[in-house]
Amino acid sequence: MAIVTMKQLLEAGVHFGHQTKRWNPKMAQYIFGARNNIHIIDLQKTLAKIKEAYRFVRNIVANNQTVLFVGTKRQAQEIIKEEAERCGMFYVNQRWWGGMLTNFSTIRQSVERLKKLEQLQQESKSTTLTKKELAKIEKEKLKLVKGLSGIRDMEDLPGAIFVIDLPQEAIAVSEAIKLEIPVVALVDTNCDPERITYVIPGNDDAIRSIKLITHIVAEAVVEGKELREKEEVTEEVKEELPQEEVKEKVKEEKNIDFEKEGKINADKQGLNSGTSE
C-alpha cells in the first residue's frame, strides 16, 4: 500500500508555496513553476522525499530511538500534539525553550520541579501552606506544564526531530544540528533546505497540508514500533526455545528434511561408486 498518493497531496494543497517574491533560491530544485505569482512545488519530488523520510523515521524507531515532533505555530499546535500522542512520541507545540536539546540536563531538572509541584498540590490538604503559597505553586506549575508537558517523559535526547516551519523553529533546528541530531522537516519555498537531513518540500501554512505530512510521519513511527516489537518477540522465542527445537523450527521454515537429504547424498555416493567400477 502506498504511503501517500499524488491525489492526497493535491487535495491537501501541499503543492502551494509562497509568493514568488518571498522565495529562497535554494529551493529552486523543488519548484515546478509559478501561477498567479505563487510558486508551485513539484509534487513528484515531494513524493520521493516523503518516501525517504518515512523509511528513515520507521528505521530509527525500529532501532529503539524516539522522534520529537516540533510545531509551535498556531496552525500546527493541535495537529502536532494529536499525532505525537497517537504514535506515542514526544512533542513541543508551545514556545521552544532555548536549551531544550543543548541544555537537556537543565530541562530535566525543570521536569522534576514540575513533578514536585504537582506532588505539593496533592499533599496540600495535609500541609500548612497558605492560599498565597498555593497560588504561587499553581502559577509556576502552569508555566512548566505549558512548556514541558509534551517532553516530561523524554529521558534521553531524541533520535531525530520532525519540524513544521523552519523559520519559526530556527532555534530547535540549530540545537539539533549542533548535537548532530537528524532533522526531518516540512520545507516551504521561502526556506533554506541546506542543513536539513530529510527535506519534505511542501506547504507549511495550510492546516490540511500540515495534517497530512504530520500524519505520514506518525504512521512511520507506528510501523517502526511494530517492526521493533516483532523483532523483540522473535528474539524472545529464540531464547526460550531449546537448541534442538530451534533447529527443528529452522527445518520447518526452510522446508528441509535433513535426514532425507543425508540419504540422497548417500545414494549419490553409491551411484558414483557404481559408475567408477
SS (H, E, C) 6-69: HHHHHHCCCCEEEEHHHCCHHHHHHEEEEECCEEEECHHHHHHHHHHHHHHHHHHHHCCCCEEE
Kindly report the CATH class assigned to 6-98+159-231: alpha beta
Position 199 scores a pLDDT of 98
φ/ψ of residue 211, rounded to 5: -65, -45
Q: Which residues of the chain have pLDDT under 50?
A: 246, 249-250, 253, 256, 258, 264, 268, 271-272, 275-277
φ/ψ of residue 134, rounded to 5: -65, -40
- Cell numbers given for 181: 541530531
Taking a C-beta distance cutoff of 8 angstroms, is the pair 92, 69 a contact?
Answer: yes
Position 120 scores a pLDDT of 80
Could you tell me which residues come within 8 angstroms of residue 52 by beta carbon, excluding any fewer than 6 positions away?
198
Position 276 scores a pLDDT of 42
CB 76: neighbour CB atoms within 10 A? 25
Strand bridging mode 38-41 / 31-35: antiparallel
- Cell numbers given for 70: 516540533
Query: Domain-by-domain residue ranges, the chain?
Result: 6-98+159-231, 102-156, 243-276
Position 44 scores a pLDDT of 98
**CA quadruple 264, 269, 275, 277: dihedral sign:** negative
Give the CA distances from residue 10 to residues 14, 28, 34, 195, in Å, rounded to whole numbers and listed in that order: 6, 20, 16, 27
70: helix, strand or coil: strand
162: helix, strand or coil: strand
Position 131 scores a pLDDT of 77
Position 267 scores a pLDDT of 53
Burial class (CB in 10 A: 0-12, 13-18, 19+), 203: buried
